[in-house]
Chains A and B, each alone.
Chain A
Amino acid sequence: MDAPAPFGPRERAVLERLAADLVPVARDDPHGVGPGDVVEWVVRWVAPLPPDIRWGLRAAVAALQWLPVLVIDEPTRYTRLAAGERMRYLAALEAHPLYLVRSLFKVLRSFTLMGYYSRPRVTRALGFDPDRVAERSRAGHFLPGLPEGGR
């Protein structure tokens, strides 16, 4: 039996908005990884975690959606803010004086970034190719960047 889905449709919509804001990709993202793909990864990553951690993450998503009124004095939800306001809001969360608020945002930021940068096409574009790393390692070769036989 599969693990229970950690997020409902509304929470997923909030996470998609966050992914689009944190990892801004044009419609023609060269790696073909969109916000929906990032959220899919986050969902799969979170699903097997213990219930207390999953509940904490749902609380973090709820806080992200509903805190604009307290953090930037905008009486609306995060997903309904204009683009510029959203970035102002996220920056305010990141630097918020309350440690708990900062921490909740940090967790969501981390998962979102991991969801994007763990995509093989993305890491390969940055120069890190795990499959090649494993293959060379097993074959006894040094990695590119390490001159074989010694630096």
Chain B
Amino acid sequence: MILTGDAVHGPLREEVEVCVVGSGAGGAVVAAELAERGREVLVLEEGGHHPTEGFSARPLEMMGRLYRDRGMTCTLGTPGIPVPLGRCVGGTTTVNSGTCFRVPPRVLSKWSKDHGLADLDEAALAPLYERVEARIEVRSAPVATLSANASFVARGAEALGWRHRPLLRNIHECRGTGVCAFGCPRGAKQSMLVSYIPRALAHGARLHANCRVERLRVEAGRALGVEGTVLDPETDRPRFPFSVRARALVLSAGTVHSPVLLARSGLAGGSRELGRNLRIHPALKVSALVAERVTAWAGVPQGYCVEEFADEGILMEEAFTPPEVGCIALPYLGHRHRALMERYDHVVNFAALVSDSSTGRVWPTPGGRGVMTYRLNRADHEALVRTLRLLARLCFAGGAERVFLPMLGMPELASPDDLSRLEAARPRPGDLELAAFHPMGTCRMGADPRRSVVDPRLRVHGVRGLWVVDASVFPSSLSVNPQLTIMAMATRASGDIHEALGG
């Protein structure tokens, strides 16, 4: 059963076995796995419950409903980097592109060496991934659903001799509707909203939407529950207080809000790592004009990748957006911009993320929000500049007539001859327009409590009965889209929690 804020008519007080804070890739999986084992589970979600039937395919309207601060969350720094986050039942899985990767072995090796995570190897993770992949129907994006944008990328990569392929996605009867990032109106993308949450509810779990957790209750080193406020679904204004007592508490509020909640509750401060080590996979996108009409919004927006540079930490993926969002990525002002927009059905693009070693930090604000700061280091800046050059080359190799760069001072390359200008350019970090979609690392896991917030089994150091299960536990950049790995880790944590409760 899902209870929304408007159905609450007074202060709420609950007592359950397991309380899960957050309904995204971590929380939903924990809830379903434990409910299936017969545990009494209550999920608390700050955002609203928006069923698939109400998804309109209007990008900005859906951003207003499904994203935190209408998609305007951003890191502070130079450059400031937008990091849009989901805030709804299903969390960011409701608004992501549905791309699925297993964590690369090189990342696991680094975790083992640097953070004492020797038991997190490929063999240990394989059955967890298999279970998740079966449940959310991970498969290669069917060719029938790929957009003309994917054909363009494939053509360019083929011409350059770069490795390319359709991405693996969590989908069921996808029709290439093209608005994955704004809520799939068909429910084809197997987000938590249509996969693990219904599974959890079918096994007796309950979910309260519009419930903002503000404090974790801990006494004598043991987690006892949470306190917070029921919000009005329309206005987000506070309605009533609530409190939940639980034998096990799972924090899956995401990389920005999990550390904020721990800090507000006076927990996990011993290592001084709480809120630090923020990684985001900084990304950039290059657009291009092609001669033929492509209507690239028809088809999966992120269905294709180029892996040629993955070992360098550069992963290229499609990221097409419909005109009402894509308009901001095209350069120029006034008539010149409008002329480009009138040819939006001839626009293609391609993006890439960089596996970052730069770090940032999440700071709790007095109002209970989290603010991200992030500073791009030299290595990542150089990787991004290299990425920009590679993307531009790929666009021309794919047949682009003009290429538009997210870079100050060089908005356009008018022909392949202009690539040499880009090669010679030395943009500063603030000259690049970046975005990021994968915040992680602010409650990092590790064997050493002096250098980590949670232990290798995701238990908060020094607190019994409290687990953190979301991307905040990753101790370094993952190099790939994180949702599958969050779900695999959540599957493992569920077994641990069940045992801890006397399984």
Residues in A lying within 8 Å of B, measured CB to CB: 1, 3, 21-24, 45, 48-50, 53, 87, 90-91, 94-95, 99, 102-103, 106, 109-110, 113-114, 116-118, 120, 123, 126-128, 130-131, 133-134, 136-138, 140-151
Contacts and interface: CB of A to CB of B under 8 A. Distances in A.
A113 B59 CA distance: 14
B84 to A, nearest CB: 13
A6 B81 CA distance: 24
Given A3-B235, A23-B338, A99-B79, A130 B299 contact: no
9 contacts: A3-B235, A50-B369, A87-B334, A95-B408, A117-B323, A123-B324, A128-B344, A134-B57, A145-B298
Contacts of A113: 327-328, 337
A4 to B, nearest CB: 12
B335 interface: yes
Interface of B: 55-61, 64, 69-70, 72, 78-80, 142-148, 151, 173, 175-179, 184-186, 188, 235-236, 294-295, 297-299, 322-325, 327-328, 333-335, 337-338, 341-342, 344-345, 369, 408-409, 430, 433
Given A99-B430, A133-B185, A151-B143, A110 B56 contact: no
A99 B57 contact: no
Contact of A140 (B55, B175, B323, B328): B175
Given A110-B328, A128-B323, A146-B145, A50 B299 contact: no
Give the secondary structure class of A's interface: helix
B175 A117 contact: no
B322 A123 contact: yes
Contacts of A103: 80
Contacts of A106: 433
Contacts of A116: 327
B333 A94 contact: yes
A126 B341 contact: yes
B325 A53 contact: no
A137 B186 contact: yes
A143 B144 CA distance: 11
Contact of B341 (A102, A110, A117, A144): A117
Nearest to B52: A138
Contacts of A53: 69, 72
B369 A133 contact: no
Contacts of A138: 185-186
A23 to B, nearest CB: 6
Contacts of B185: 133-134, 137-138
Contacts of A50: 69, 369
B293 to A, nearest CB: 9
Given A118-B324, A151-B144, A133 B72 contact: no
B87 to A, nearest CB: 12
A126 B338 CA distance: 11
A22 B345 CA distance: 21
Contacts of B145: 142, 146
A141 B173 CA distance: 10
Contacts of B72: 49, 53
Contacts of B337: 22-23, 113
- Which of A109, A114, A116, A133 has the largest number of chain B CB atoms within 10 A? A133
Q: Which 7 A-B pairs have the closest CB atoms?
A: A145-B298, A134-B57, A150-B144, A137-B177, A143-B298, A130-B57, A118-B324
A120 B56 CA distance: 12
- Which of B56, B188, B328 has the largest number of chain A CB atoms within 10 A? B328
Contacts of A142: 144-145, 175-176
A25 B309 CA distance: 44
Contacts of A134: 55-57, 177, 185
B298 A144 contact: yes
A133 B60 contact: no
Contacts of B408: 95, 102
A140 B55 CA distance: 15
A109 B334 CA distance: 11
B166 to A, nearest CB: 11
B235 A128 contact: no
A150 B79 CA distance: 42
A117 B325 CA distance: 8
